[in-house]
Amino acid sequence: MLASSARAIRDDVAAGRVSAVEVCRAYLDRMEAVNGSLNAFNLIDPDRALAQAAGVDRRRAAGEPPGALAGVPVALKDNLCVRGMRTTASSRILERFVPPYDATVVQRIERAGGVIVGKTNCDEFAMGSSNENSAFGPVRTPWAPDRAPGGSSGGSAAAVAAGGVPLSLGSDTGGSIRQPAAFCGVVGLKPTYGRVSRYGLLAFASSLDQIGPITRTAADAALALGVLAGADPADATSSRQPVPDFSAALTGEMSGLRVGVPRAFVAEGVDDGVKRAFDEALDTLRRGGATLVDIELPHAKYAIPVYYLVATAEASSNLARYDGVRYGYRSSRHAEQGLRAMYSRTRDEGFGAEVKRRIMLGTYVLSAGYYDAYYLKAQQVRTLLRRDYEQAFERVDVVATPTSPVPPFRLGEKVADPLQMYLTDVFTVSQPLAGLPAVSIPCGFVGRPERLPVGLQLTGRMFDESTLLRVADAYERMTDWHAATPPLWS
């Protein structure tokens, strides 16, 4: 059962071959068994999960439609609000916060029969590329206990890779779904900006954040996106674009597909093993009937500085609400010194080093005298990045790159050098800046004796997740990388 896809679990529960409660208990046992090694979960809620599963079984027995996710255990990144369930964003400043409402994606999962089992560890407020910035300790990739799982949705990716859940949700601001998926050997989909409601997501950078699924297969990602997608009156940035049947798009065919390859962009700074796996993946796409087309993304080299100006500016604004007055942590030190001292001590004690670094950088670039030189200029280059992709998509259907230029690195290896950590996002920051969908799928391994997973990233046109998922699914049918399991399974 633990190796089953979300689709298979749904079908078995709907047909009565297994009960949702049995499925839930099996996965809860698995989570308890592996979490001590991975630290993937901040919270597991067996009572709530089993009650939800029992409700699914009652509805099925009464002849009601079981739902597209009937009985499927789902883990949520700990920056998604669930009414009555502690939601911390892996930060001390929200350590005791219990939301009074559900995120829209939570409502849609539960309406579809999904069973929410708990909240996964992440970089604090989704700020990080290694999951080492969590106030509750780092997550470890199931493939090697000394390696990072990627960030910021490291707990969500590790939970799926280790068999703790068949489906989890993450958020992606600059690669936080795709990079962990690559480091953990699973599938991670960042939808088009606006495809999925952000209502109930604790904001990092509002023009970039997007919620998406992490799964073992492209077919499960398509199933999940079909549940999550669609307009939401609670989120003014959600799109009214029609939601297609993503699962119906999985024909297994790539014939006639044009795959753009930005050769110059991927030529430098990529690990040799990652480059070999990427080249082999391109060969597989070609054998499947796709045509490889060389393209240029001339402004992609500026994506990292643009991202770390835009994202930090928005973070500075969004995180101003955590002041110790309305909710969350409040410092009791120096209370006699007045309100300003309380603000300062609360934020100093409640936020971790990386969050404080980004708040300070964002505040600086928004300040008088620097706004035009930094933030405004970054927004102008952001427009050029979007135009690069628009021009590329006049010639191709998808763009292929490695997901990360390096395989999973050791915990602690890049902590002392933030710039080197930021550069691991070089292939994943352009898509949020341009609002484009992208998916990471397993495409090989590097290293001996350790086998460290490598991800292939595919980027598509706005609101064309169907093509991305079709290519990902067709690639999976020609390979078995997605079926590999980490040593932790045995």
CA atoms within 13 Å, Cβ hemisphere of 453: 35
Residue 331 has pLDDT above 70, yes or no: yes
Contact 197, 220 (CB under 8 A): no
Those residues with Cβ within 8 angstroms of residue 339's Cβ, 6 or more apart along the chain or in another chain: none
How many C-beta atoms lie closer than 10 Å to residue 29's C-beta?
12
> Is 174 a member of any domain?
yes
State residue 335's pLDDT score.
64
> Is 40 a member of any domain?
yes
Residue 489 has pLDDT above 90, yes or no: no
Contact 28, 49 (CB under 8 A): yes
State residue 337's pLDDT score.
80
Q: Choose the weakest-confidence range: 41-50, 341-350, 455-464.
A: 341-350
* pLDDT > 90 fraction of the chain, expressed in percent and rounded: 93
Those residues with Cβ within 8 angstroms of residue 178's Cβ, 6 or more apart along the chain or in another chain: 172, 188, 190, 403, 428, 438, 439, 440, 455, 457
* pLDDT > 70 fraction of the chain, expressed in percent and rounded: 99
> Is 107 a member of any domain?
yes
> Is 184 a member of any domain?
yes
Q: Choose the weakest-confidence range: 96-105, 199-208, 318-327, 403-412.
A: 318-327
> Is 227 a member of any domain?
yes
> Is 74 a member of any domain?
yes
In tens, the pLDDT along 355-382 reads 999 999 999 999 988 999 999 999 999 9
In the structure encoding, which two tokens stand for residue 120, read together? 């996964």
State residue 449's pLDDT score.
79
Mean pLDDT of all residues in 321-327: 90
First to last CA, the chain: 15
In tens, the pLDDT along 102-138 reads 999 999 999 999 999 999 999 999 999 999 999 999 9
> Is 252 a member of any domain?
yes
State the total domains in the chain.
1
Give the 3-state secondary structure percentages of the chain, helix then strand then coil, rounded to 5: 40, 15, 45
Residue 285 has pLDDT above 70, yes or no: yes
In tens, the pLDDT along 244-272 reads 999 999 999 999 999 999 999 999 899 99
Give the Cα separation of 425 and 404 in Å (integer): 7
Nearest to 211 by CA among 220, 200, 222, 219: 200
Can you give the residue range of the structural domain that contains 219? Answer: 6-258+483-489
Mean pLDDT of all residues in 273-286: 98
Q: Which residue has the higher pLDDT, 246 or 326?
A: 246
Q: State the catalytic residues.
A: 77, 152, 176
Q: Choose the weakest-confidence range: 209-213, 311-315, 444-448.
A: 444-448
Give the Cα separation of 375 and 373 in Å (integer): 7
How many C-beta atoms lie closer than 10 Å to residue 294's C-beta?
11
Q: Where are the alpha helices (DSSP H) in 288-321?
A: 303-318
State residue 334's pLDDT score.
65
Q: Where are the alpha helices (DSSP H) in 367-453?
A: 377-392, 418-423, 430-434
CATH of the domain at 175: 3.90.1300.10
Supply the DSSP symbol for 288: T
pLDDT band at 326 (very low <50, low <70, confident <90, very high): confident
> Is 158 a member of any domain?
yes
Mean pLDDT of all residues in 479-487: 96
Q: In what helix (H) or strand (E) does residue 183 lie, and over which residues does it extend? A: helix 178-184
Q: Where are the alpha helices (DSSP H) in 288-374?
A: 303-318, 339-350, 353-366
Kindly report each contact of residues 278-283 with a partner whose C-beta sits within 8 Å and lies 24 or more positions away, as own/partner. 278/400, 278/401, 278/402, 278/443, 278/454, 278/456, 280/443, 280/444, 281/400, 281/443, 281/444, 281/456, 281/475, 282/400
